[in-house]
Amino acid sequence: MTTRLNTPLPAVGLWSMELRGAANPTVREAATELDELGFRALWVPGLDGGGAVDDVGHLLEAAPQATVTLGVLAIWGQDPAALGDRLAALDAAHGPRAIMGFGVSNAHSASQAGQDYGRPVESMGRWLDALDSAPRPVPVERRILGALGPKMSDLAANRTAGWHPFLVTPDYTAIQRKRVGAQPLVAPHLAVVLDKDPDRARAAARAGIGMFIGFPTYRANLARLGFTDDDLIPGGSDRLIDALVAWGDLDAVATRIREHLDAGADHVALHVLRPDDPDRPALPLPQWRELATLLPGFASTN
């Protein structure tokens, strides 16, 4: 039986590695500005968990109108009972505005934590069992999974409020929505490059997400979507990059967001990628400000 997310997400939010380290006043000031600009959903990667929940707390305080989601936290080495206690403390301090996203990451991550990766879906299922058995569990309606394939997506639909897929196209969104029905949350990550020059934009995209194309889980999912060995080269072919990344001007980004929403996504998390420039500022505030101008056009969605 599926459970609907009970913490509201708008149609569009921001996913940002730069918002980790939110103990830094500069990061908190940026989160406050994003809140004032109208972003009501902020996503931060959980990675291996070090400081991730602390960052969520700082962001909830800095952005009092926003939902903050860990997208996603690797389960290896995480104490389910402690996570439930941390979420309860965040709720007490800031209201129920945090969502916990969990993922199996990869075998190396499990090994680093001294654990056996095993079969990913089975490992995640056992970890969710432990989460449910905690004295103060993370509620089903406040958790999601990082998932791609049908088995992990089904687990997400049955044991959480939905899932957050990475490196996917609108076709993926449409396939999954048709497969699982209307209830589970489907909230894809969407990389964005605000640059109309094809060579610069694709280079920024490859620098930001190209390495993931070589990971077996992503390769398998992209193959299911019809991409071939000619596309799944190091850094990805132009065809693949163009399918995965919204690059160009604001109209191009808005079009890709709309394609995901029309395909059945509940929410799209925008991840700004920038050229590798040692002199660039630490935070992509100019790009975030530009993207904020798109928000009114999606305000009535969902």
Taking 80 as the threshold, does the pLDDT of residue 1 lie above it?
A: no
What pLDDT score was predicted for residue 219?
Answer: 96
Span 75-99, pLDDT tens digits: 998 999 999 999 999 999 999 999 9
Q: Largest alpha-carbon pair distance within the chain?
A: 54
- Coil vs helix vs strand at 91: helix
Contact 87, 98 (CB under 8 A): yes
Instruction: Quickly list DSSP for 243-257.
Output: HHEEESSHHHHHHHH
What pLDDT score was predicted for residue 2?
Answer: 60
- What band does 279 get if pLDDT is binned at 50, 70 and 90? low
What pLDDT score was predicted for residue 20?
Answer: 93
- Coil vs helix vs strand at 71: strand
Span 189-213, pLDDT tens digits: 999 999 999 999 999 999 999 999 9
Render the burial of 35-71: b for 16+ CB within 10 Å, e for the rest. beebbbbbbbbbbbbeebbebbbbbbbbbeebbbbbb
Taking 80 as the threshold, does the pLDDT of residue 280 lie above it?
A: no
What pLDDT score was predicted for residue 77?
Answer: 87
What pLDDT score was predicted for residue 301?
Answer: 52
**Residue with token string 């990628």:** 273
> What is the share, in percent, of the chain residues with pLDDT greater than 70?
97
Span 28-61, pLDDT tens digits: 999 999 999 999 999 999 877 779 999 999 999 9
Span 176-187, pLDDT tens digits: 999 999 999 999
Mean pLDDT of the chain: 94
- What band does 278 get if pLDDT is binned at 50, 70 and 90? low
Taking 60 as the threshold, does the pLDDT of residue 302 lie above it?
A: no
Q: Could you tell me which CATH number the domain at 12-295 has?
A: 3.20.20.30
CA 67-144-288 angle, 5° bins: 40
Contact 15, 270 (CB under 8 A): yes
In 3-state terms the chain splits into helix, strand, coil percentages (rounded to 5) of: 45, 15, 40
- Coil vs helix vs strand at 190: strand
Span 113-160, pLDDT tens digits: 899 999 999 999 999 999 999 999 999 999 999 999 999 999 999 999
- What band does 299 get if pLDDT is binned at 50, 70 and 90? confident
What pLDDT score was predicted for residue 281?
Answer: 76
